[in-house]
Amino acid sequence: MTASPPPAAAGLRGSGEGTSGGGLVRRLSLLDSISLVGGTIVGTGVLLKAAVMTQQLGSPWAVLAAWLAAGVLTLFGALAYAELGAMMPEAGGEYVFLRAAYGDAVAFLYGWVRFTAGSGSLAALGVSFATFLSPLVSLGGAWVRVAGTVWGVPVHWSFGAPQAVAIVPILTLAVINCAGVRAGGRVQVALATIKVLAVIGIVAGALAAARGGSWAHFAHPAPGGAVSVSAFGAALVGAVWAYSGWSYLPMAAGEIRNPGRNVPRALIGGTFIVIVLYLAIDAAYFYALPAATVASANSTLHPGAPAVAALAVGSFLASDTTKLAALVFIIATLGTMNGGLLSNSRVLFAMSRTRQFFPVFGRVTRRSHVPGWAIAAFAAWASVLATSGTYDQLSDLAVFAFMIFFALTVTAVFRLRATQPDRPRPYRVTGYPVVPAIYVVATVWMIGNAVTTAPAQAIAALGFLVVGIPVYAWFRARRSRDVAAAPADPAPAAPTLR
């Protein structure tokens, strides 16, 4: 991989339509940016998560309420990120915001968790790719299966052809993204368009032609579920995961044209569109299928069952045409994976450029101007995680890790308003300070609830965070040694008297 070395400067700032971040180029348009938001959000979550949410809550109305609450909360977070992204349009997103607000240590821990635990989101998408592929190609069962408890926490693990297949799209998209950000952007626009049309098609088909479809399904909850504060919080975490791609756009802000305008427009507009689509498709699920059927769809409890979206499509299409639906679901998965890989790799790039990670990850390829080594690292670690758990386990691990820093990043709006009041802000949060405050309080509550409802994933995410502390200390000491060993600048020569 031919690459240009990172510059000595620690800053990442760029402007205009040219280069940004010491080699990155602003080539993503407003359409590319909206596609990155919508195309990354709309993916496996809305095609799968309704099952586990129905298991938790039982009531279709409660499930829809969880989707709406998560959507409003996501929009509040997007408003805060829009201010920060327009103010600091640099590669790295949350890493840049946290470093400006709280310093190197907090920023490093975010980047570390985003890489180590956050790669679980990409791994979960790989697992869902295998799930959607199974109606088209028989993958067989698990080769190895382990079930037991660790410190009293139930643990389930299996490995087989589905896990092996999950790695293929991760590595393939890594190769595409190494070809250049414009190539990744074009792929994202195409995949996002197909995904939005597919969601609209499922909604229209289910509402117009579902066999046995009825609004009466909303009056009959699934057995086993119960509406409670704790269950609603657990379901909310699942919905937040399905919306989670909204935060990816600022990570690629160093490659977006006119970021002061386009970052807020893409974040807010893209998120609003997704909220409408999610409410529509989940209502279509419950119209087409009884709640008990939704609850029995693919999940950790029913790993061999079809996805809830596939069941909904099967309610109005012949069985042979559901294979076409499976292909559309695969495309939806690839779109989310592509956006996540494009964005997350920029975090490692930003960490390296500020001397908080290995220098190789701060290099950009000479021909395509992308952080090729950072892309490869994310793809490699996500491939390892893809073999380690189910979709729900991996996604819960990722979203728990994300929520900790979502809340902290939104608090950066308050801190930077106080510490840097004169810094130009092309966009200011609508509803400040109430909107960001509601987001922070609600997210902190979800984090606390997740510790009790999904303890294994919470412990794993916190474990990655704790391990990051000595790793940060090592990189800090390494940077101090490098600075001490660097030759001092020569003193200017004294003027010659004549």
Residue ranges making up the domain that contains 259: 17-478
As a whole number of angstroms, the distance between CA 144 and CA 134 comes to 18
Would you say residue 283 lies in a domain?
yes
Per-residue pLDDT tens over the stretch 253-284? 777 888 888 889 888 888 988 999 999 999 99
Residue 493 domain-assigned (yes or no)? no
- Average pLDDT taken over every residue of the chain: 82
Q: Does a structural domain hold residue 3?
A: no
Residue 494 domain-assigned (yes or no)? no
Tens of pLDDT, residues 193-209: 887 888 899 999 999 99
Domain-embedded: residue 490: no
449 pLDDT tier (thresholds 50, 70, 90)? confident
What is the full DSSP assignment across 345-356?
HHHHHHHHHTTS
pLDDT at 148 (0 to 100): 63
Helices (H), 251-302: 259-288, 291-295
Neighbours of 455 (CB within 10 A): 14
pLDDT reading at 133 higher than 90: no
Task: Give 203-246 pLDDT, tens digit per residue.
Answer: 999 999 999 999 999 999 998 888 898 889 888 888 887 887 78
* CA dist., res. 101 & res. 116, Å (int): 23
Which tops the pLDDT comparison, 464 or 471? 471
pTM for the model stands at 0.76
Residue 390 has what pLDDT?
Answer: 64
For residue 176, pLDDT beyond 90: no
The rounded percent of the chain whose pLDDT value lies above 90 is 33
CATH number at 348 reads 1.20.1740.10
Residue 489 lies in a domain: no
- Domain annotation covers residue 424: yes
Residue 12 lies inside a defined structural domain of this protein? no
Q: What is the pLDDT of residue 81?
A: 92
Q: Is the predicted pLDDT of residue 120 greater than 50, yes or no?
A: yes
The total of structural domains in the chain comes to: 1
Cis preceding-peptide flag for 433 (omega within 30 of 0): yes
389 by Cβ neighbours in 10 Å (0-12 / 13-18 / 19+) ranks as buried
Helix (H) or strand (E) holding 143: strand 142-150
